[in-house]
Amino acid sequence: MSLVNVKINGRDYAVESGSTILEACKAASIDIPTLCYMKKINEIGACRICLVEVKGARSLVAACVQPVSEGMEISTNSPAVLKARRINLELILSDHKMDCLSCLRNQNCELQKYAKDFGVYDQYKYEGERSKYEKDESTPFLVRDNEKCILCRRCVAACRSNQGVAVIGANDRGFDTHIGCAFETPLNDNPCIACGQCVVACPTGALTEKDQTAEVMQVLSDPTKHLLVCTAPSVRATLGECFGNAPGTDVEGKMVAALKRLGFEGVYDMNFAADLTIMEEANELIERIQNGGKLPMITSCSPGWVKYCEHYHPDFVDHLSTCKSPQQMFGAVAKTFLAQKNGWDPKDVVFVSIIPCTAKKFEIRRPHQSAAGEGIYDVDFALTTRELGKMIQRAGIQFNSLPDEKFDNPFSIGSGAGAIFGATGGVMEAALRTAAETILGKPLEKLDFEAVRGTEGIKTAAYQLGDLEVKVAVASGTGNAGKLLDMVRNGELDVQFIEIMACPGGCVNGGGQPVQPMQLRNDVDLPAIRAKVLYDADRNLPYRKSHENPDIQMIYREFFGKPGSHKAHEVLHTAYIKRGK
């Protein structure tokens, strides 16, 4: 690594050659504010908040795109720099909807933070015309309010570069520039995959999930309904961030306690349904391998990925596992097995899932998701981690003061295999644990399939299970999924089993997770920090394989009979649509 000598705010530093001023200052423990910058995917210098002064330069320069050079003298906090940043913030605010008090991002807005940091107290300093746009509320999962958009283009970069979808972009020019779809069509008329990565990339309240908390609170007050809830594996690793806890804090016990105080009749662990998914998925994989079924088989747990496959790679739709996602399986079980067990009419059971994903809001109204009968959806409401955080706050529940409480029976037990579903590679590892022991007919000596772990975009591995070699691949982020499918299609990669998650890093980095500032996301591997909670749980749980979960054994004994049975297919399996673009 070659170094160059620079001076930053009067002090000498040796920094890596080829780095930008932004990177050099970060190495010197100096944060420069940014609104548009996303490391490696949106380095465009558009917001002009990162301006710095360079001795000898004719004007201030954007730190995120300006490379350092030998002997460069940089000032990050001179009067000229601070004045320019303040003026740029005032200009951004001059065309921004100022409803901060009622905005979902109030106190968690990067624009609001910088306005405070730089003393921008007169947001109406520059009077004049303001942009007016109708909200796009056409989808069941997302709301776009362009009157809050600052044209940072982070959502565009996330959609294009990370996800390989590119259904949004900058339309028009000059003052009329705005973010939208081609030909000004509503988002719902475009092949958006509902992943929500644009939402967690947005620095303001221009993009939010379609909020259903008021509807759930209304049902909570209806004594004629049995309101049940389950929480996805990754939510316990992220919900604490809504209440000031550091990323990577496990709040499972407090989460359960909060849900009980909200008034849910049953509070269940979706790890159980993850185990149920593995039982069906591992059985399906073995059947396909042994009976000449469609290979490679591809996981179907991520609805954003499934929608992406249907739109952009319809030739792979028949490769998808027919298993419903854990969310849908749990709702189906609640309205069939659990309703029968308790003598409830399925029409009176309202099932809510707490999920890290905006695509789940789309999934709950897909066809073939009504195991209890026509018109009775498996899942009635899918709330994001953020929505649950808001419900808890509005109810006045002091989250960090809550005692740890346990999930309700039945279905209080989830295995370590179910726990790691929330991390990229976790579904693959969980399935391999059960499939391997089924094929070998004996316990595995080592349960950790470490080659499929980690936040790399694409991973491959091969495992020898007796006489059978199982070759697998894992991808996260649909941009990587597209690359992986191209490799399979072109014959560059020969595998039998593929796991794909729509969001980079898996569900821990889902579009419904707590929003963290981009400066943190740029500097740390947030998905890895959150995923560590799940791997720690896996290591410490009494059951680490799905087929050893006593609740799983009970429901097969009492209801399904065996994995892949006729009853299991009626309740736990689904079908897909070749949508095309």
Residues 6+ apart with CB under 8 A from 536: 250
Residue 312, both tokens: 């952009």
CB atoms within 10 A of CB 330: 29
Phi-psi category of residue 538: left, alpha or beta, with phi > 0 → left and psi -120 to 50 → alpha: alpha
Is it true that 3-93 and 214-572 share their CATH fold? no
pLDDT per residue as tens digits for the range 403-455: 999 999 999 999 999 999 999 999 999 999 999 999 999 999 899 999 999 99
Q: Which CATH number fits domain 131-209: 3.30.70.20, 3.30.450.20, 3.40.50.300, 3.30.930.10?
A: 3.30.70.20
pLDDT truncated to tens, each residue of the chain (581 aa)? 799 999 999 999 999 999 999 999 999 999 999 999 999 999 999 999 999 999 999 999 999 999 999 999 999 999 999 999 999 999 999 999 999 999 999 999 999 999 999 999 776 788 889 999 999 999 999 999 999 999 999 999 999 999 999 999 999 999 999 999 999 999 999 999 999 999 999 999 999 999 999 999 999 999 999 999 999 999 999 999 999 999 999 999 999 999 999 999 999 999 999 999 999 999 999 999 999 999 999 999 999 999 999 999 999 999 999 999 999 999 999 999 999 999 999 999 999 999 999 999 999 999 999 999 999 999 999 999 999 999 999 999 999 999 999 999 999 999 999 999 999 999 999 999 999 999 999 999 899 999 999 999 999 999 998 888 999 999 999 999 999 999 999 999 999 999 999 999 999 999 999 999 999 999 999 999 999 999 999 999 999 999 999 999 999 999 999 999 999 999 999 999 999 76
| Tokens found for residue 542 | 């009494």
How far is it, in rounded angstroms, from Cα 397 to Cα 35?
Answer: 33
What is the helix, strand, coil percentage profile of the chain, to 5? Answer: 40, 15, 45
What is the reported pLDDT for 123?
A: 66
pLDDT, position 581: 67
Cα distance between residue 276 and residue 219, in whole Å: 28
> DSSP string spanning 145-188?
-GGG-----HHHHIIIIITS----EEES-GGG-EEE-GGG--GG
pTM over 0.85: yes
How would you class 521 by CB atoms within 10 Å of its CB: exposed for 0-12, middle for 13-18, buried for 19 or more?
middle
Spatial contact of 420 and 231, defined as CB atoms under 8 Å apart? no
d(CA 68, CA 54): 10
Q: Is the separation of the CB atoms in 118 and 89 below 8 Å?
A: yes
Separation CA 159–CA 477 (nearest Å): 10
Provide the residue ranges of all domains of the chain, joining segments of one domain with +: 3-93, 131-209, 214-572
Q: What's the token pair of residue 163?
A: 């996800």
Q: Report the half-sphere exposure of 178 (CA within 13 A, side-chain side).
A: 21
What is residue 444's predicted lDDT score, i.e. its pLDDT?
A: 93
Q: Which residues pair with 327 in a beta bridge?
A: none
The tokens describing 367, both together, are 């066809």
Alpha carbon distances (Å) from 576 to 307, 320, 476, 495, 572: 9, 8, 21, 22, 14
Buried-state track 171-198, b at ≥16 Cβ within 10 A, e below 16: eeeeeeebbbbeeeeebbebbbbbbbbb
Query: Taking a C-beta distance cutoff of 8 angstroms, is the pair 53, 84 a contact?
Result: no
Whole-Å CA distances, 49 to 26, 54, 91, 184, 346: 16, 15, 11, 29, 55
Q: Which long-range contacts (CB under 8 A, 24 or more apart) does 553-561 make?
A: 554/410, 555/276, 555/333, 555/337, 555/410, 556/279, 558/337, 559/336, 559/337
Contact 75, 83 (CB under 8 A): no
Look at residues 30, 17, 25, 201 and name the one whose alpha carbon lies nearest to residue 105: 201
Helices then strands, counting H and E runs in the chain, come out as 20, 17
Q: Measure CA 41 to chain center.
A: 18
CATH architecture of 214-572: 3-Layer(aba) Sandwich (3.40)
CA atoms of 561 and 59, how far apart (whole Å): 74
Phi and psi angles of residue 485, each rounded to the nearest 5 degrees, phi first = -65, -35
Q: Which residue has the tokens 């070759």?
A: 471
Q: Which amino acid is at 422?
A: G
The set of long-range contacts for 16-23, using a CB threshold of 8 Å and a minimum separation of 24, is 17/68, 18/67, 19/67, 19/68, 20/63, 20/64, 20/65, 20/66, 20/67, 20/68, 21/52, 21/54, 21/61, 21/63, 21/64, 21/66, 21/67, 21/68, 21/72, 21/74, 22/50, 22/63, 22/64
Which pLDDT does position 465 carry in this prediction?
86
Query: Is residue 266 classed exposed, middle or buried when 0-12, 13-18 and 19+ CB atoms within 10 A define those classes?
Result: buried
Q: Checking DSSP bridges between strand 349-355 and strand 381-384, what pairing results, if any?
A: parallel
- DSSP assignment of 501-538: ESSTTSGGG-TTSPP--HHHHHHS-HHHHHHHHHHHHH
Only one residue has tokens 């020969």, namely 494
Cα–Cα dist 283/437, whole Å: 11
Tell me, rounded to whole angstroms, the distance of Cα 156 from its chain centroid.
Answer: 17
Fold topology of 3-93: Ubiquitin-like (UB roll) (3.10.20)
Burial letters for 416-433: b for 16+ Cβ neighbours within 10 Å, e otherwise?
Answer: bbbbbbbbbbbbbbbbbb
Structure tokens at 274: 């993850």
CB count, 10 Å around CB of 403? 8
